[in-house]
Every structure is written in C-alpha cells, then in structure tokens.
Amino acid sequence: MTASPPKTFLEIPRDFVLARLRTLGLLALITLSWSMVFAAPPPLDVGFLIKTSAALLEEKQYQKALATLAPALQQYPKDPQVLNLQGAILTKLKDYAGAQKCYEEALKASPGFFPAEYNIGSLLALRQQWDPAITYYRNLLIEQPNNELVEYKLLLLLLHQGPDPDLQQKLFSMDVPSNTPAWYYASAARAYKKGDKGEAGKYLDVAKSVFGDKTEIFQQELDESGLKDAKMN
C-alpha cells in the first residue's frame, strides 16, 4: 500500500486557507499598528526648543543653542521665528553672511516680520557699515514712525558717528517718558556721549525699576554701541 503524497498548499481546503489568511491579516494589522505606536517620534515642541535655545543664546552657549534649535529647523525650515533665532545665534558667532541669509529667508516666509527687519540693520552696524546702517534705520523709522526701538537704534548710531546733530535733537525730543524704556535709555546714551556716567546710571536705574525685563534689548544695544566708554567732549 503506497503512502499518500503530502498535500501541497493548493490542496489545502479553500475555507481553511481563507480563515488562515484572515487571521494572518489581522495579526499583521495589529503588529503594524503597535509598531507605529512605538516607532512614532513624540511631537516636536517647537516653542520649548525656541525658548531653550534663546536661553542658551543669552548664556553665550552659542554652539549648544544651535544644536538645540536644529530639530525645529529641520521640521519647520521656513518658520520665521526659528530662522530669526538661528540668525541671531550666527550673528553672535560672527557668521554675518549666514545670519543675513537666515533673516532674508525669514522675510521671504513672512514679509514685514519685524525682528528680521531690525536684525538686518544690526548686521550693517556690526560690519561697521555706518552710513548704510543709519540710512537703513532712517528708512525703517519712516515706515514705522511710532517704533521707539528703531528710533533708539538710530539715535545710538548717530551718537556713535556724530552726523546730523539736528536729527539727533529731534529723536526723543519730548520731556516726558513714553510707555517703553526707550526715553530713559536715549537719555542715558546722551549722558554717556557727554561722558557723564553718573547721570546715565540714574536714567538706567529708573528704567530698570519701572520696566524690569523689558529693558533687556535696550541695554544690549547700549552695551554694544560703545557709548558707555565715551570720553567727555
């Protein structure tokens, strides 16, 4: 009596095959769905990365700030805030060409994005292109006549370089402070220009007591202006 040959796959009953395929398919779907759960990266908290990178920038940990910002740049390469922060870090690293590109890309993504507009002018001053920097901020102030940060930056440049005394007098010509630290810092800058550090310090103390953390950008611009080291004229 000869033994029956083993059944091949094609000889297995059709109903059994379909049931088996359904089971395998269900298992495959379950396996796939669980693999997706475990393999999916956590959502990127861009706000946290920007905040952390900005804090590292303030601490002068520039390379670490860039590394922290890198995932946000990779996922959101056209986000103006991310690009502007990258530009600010590159500025501190004196990579002015790289910073310029970041600011320009930020403005392409969001025309009129003020931080990038402001920082492009700062690059001109950092490159000691004084006349173009003054012209840039004069034009920006025409576009935004109520922007006291722009007015303050223009005054610092004029005091540093000494041109156009008439325009210098027109900037912050009011006798009372405004709702920003600008008036106090403008008065302090003028006092430093005269070599009166005591008077300058009084204005700065009042500004910091009234405005607190809002003085940071004004103080940074004053520190970088060179006016604090000015000698009595």
pLDDT digits (tens, 9 = 90+) for 38-70: 455 556 788 999 999 999 999 999 999 999 999
Spatial contact of 221 and 156, defined as CB atoms under 8 Å apart: yes
pLDDT of residue 7: 36
Residue 178: band (very low, low, confident or very high) from pLDDT cuts 50, 70, 90: confident
- pLDDT, the chain, mean: 85
> What percentage of the chain carries pLDDT values higher than 70?
80
Higher-confidence residue of 37 and 114: namely 114
Contacts of 62 (CB under 8 A, 6+ apart): 56, 89, 92, 93
CA separation for the pair 209, 33 (Å, rounded): 57
Spatial contact of 189 and 155, defined as CB atoms under 8 Å apart: yes
CA separation for the pair 178, 172 (Å, rounded): 9
Give the mean pLDDT of 120-137. 96
pLDDT of residue 219: 96
Residue 11: band (very low, low, confident or very high) from pLDDT cuts 50, 70, 90: very low
